[in-house]
Structure 1
Amino acid sequence: MKYLTILLFTASFTSNAQTISGFIYDHESTIKGVKLINITQNILTYSNESGQFKIGVKHKDTLTISSYFHSQQTIILSQDYFEEEIVIELQKTTNALDEVKVTKILEKKFDSIVLTTEIKNQLPNDIKADLIYTEFNPVAI
């Protein structure tokens, strides 16, 4: 009886969960590498090479779409978003930078021992980051 209660309790939460999919583009073409975050459920994914994405959501979840070169959008998911693939258009933004003045270039001597040590220390972090990216980005394959 205890297991049946747990099963029914878990099923009630997962029954409302759905996956939505769609494409992201700007006025020129589809956009790869756009970050989509389901703020409500803390789920992250990225659009693939052709601008396509899939993400787990529920009705009334908040979805934030952001890219380095486009304006961020936030969407509260109504029932309309679950009926067909979503097409999201992002507006390009221009990132204006302040003026930088370079006065002198300092050259650092190459030290192969230091570089080898830094690579050995960084490699496990890169492998771990790649595994996390792959786990949260099922469309990126």
Structure 2
Amino acid sequence: MEQQQEIFHTDTSELELLINSVDDIADDNVRQRWPSTLQSLSEVLNCELKRANINNPHLADKLTIALGYYFGGRDIYIPTGNKLKLALRNIAIWREFNGRNIEQLAARYQLTERQITQVVKEQRQAEMQRRQRSLF
């Protein structure tokens, strides 16, 4: 958590200049000169923005630049595949849980009632950790 706060306490004037310059210089030729990871990230963001009916021609590039600025050079882990699906499923179960619907959730998510109870327990603990400060 401290590391993330440190990221956003940096002077953002340099980032603002980079992002504002995108409208002036952005075209496919500029993007082709980016490192391949940034090209791929920009393309993924662009596709998702289009799917969400967000029609801002340079928004994906601006988001890519911001991510590169804050996270560039860092080793970050982005869960994929099953870990991501399970995390999203568990969050959905927690949001739908009302204290009396374990059986319905088990049927809906094709899990046992014991598994649903475990997911609820883990999500409750995660929620408590988010809301309460650690004493140590």
User: Highest relative contact order (Cα 8 Å, sep 6+), 1 or 2?
Assistant: 1
More strand by share: 1
Query: TM-score scaled by structure 2?
Result: 0.20
Query: TM-score scaled by structure 1?
Result: 0.20
